[in-house]
Amino acid sequence: MCLVIIGHQQNPQWPLLVAANRDEFHARATAPAAYWGDNAEMLAGRDLEAGGTWMGVTRGGRFAAVTNYRDPARTAPAPRSRGELPTDFLLGTDAPMDYLARVATRRAEYAGFNLLVGDGDSLCYLGNDGHADPLALEPGLYGLSNARLDTPWPKVELGKAVMARLLSAGEFNHESLASAVSDQTLARPEELHDQGLGGDMDVLLSAQFIHAGSYGTRSTTTILQGQDSLHWRETSFDDAGRVTGTVEELVALAI
């Protein structure tokens, strides 16, 4: 389970605002965010088991993030890793819609995913639940977890509400953005039932920030992207929710 809250073209100083959690098994080998040695243009964390990433940016102003699509009926291993989807976009030169059009032709080769890609101007979305075409997103406020974009899961709606308040106040920093994805309150059963959820695991994973023993929120990433610079912070956590490290980077954009 993961969570991404985005303000796209909603603030003139910061055209892209992102608050996101990566939820994963704590035992899964992961490298914290860094410029990849084999491509110093890309700043991203790294999944050391499959080699890809879940979220990253480039000095050229490219942004990409992927979440899993929750579908208990689709549990068989897939031929390709979802982590290659943001990685390939970040390392490539395709326009966002062109890239998603290419991914759409092979979407069945991946387990369920939601993919967001942008280039500093446009932001686009593709999922592989069904056969919808890639979608160019209008300026607005968006939330994504482990269902389709803007599915009103409680954690998504809460994150969007917090981001909306931040946009109204017009004051942004990493701490305020992180508050959009930091709530540890479990959703009420009736809220989950409205979305077809309600099992014990659904309840356990319903908080924005997850503590579930061997599984939980591994990191929170916040991004403030302006016209000529990008501010990045990734905070990592252990299985007790304690901070284990922070990576902050000020990226000068060459757009």
Domain locations along the chain: 2-252
2-252 fold: Penicillin V Acylase; Chain A (3.60.60)
Tens digits of per-residue pLDDT, 135-167?
999 999 999 999 999 999 999 999 999 999 999
Structure tokens at 93: 């030169």
36-45, 88-97, 119-128: range with lowest mean pLDDT: 36-45
- pTM of the full predicted structure? 0.94
Query: Alpha carbon of 193 to those of 2, 78, 147, 153: distances in Å?
Result: 20, 29, 15, 10
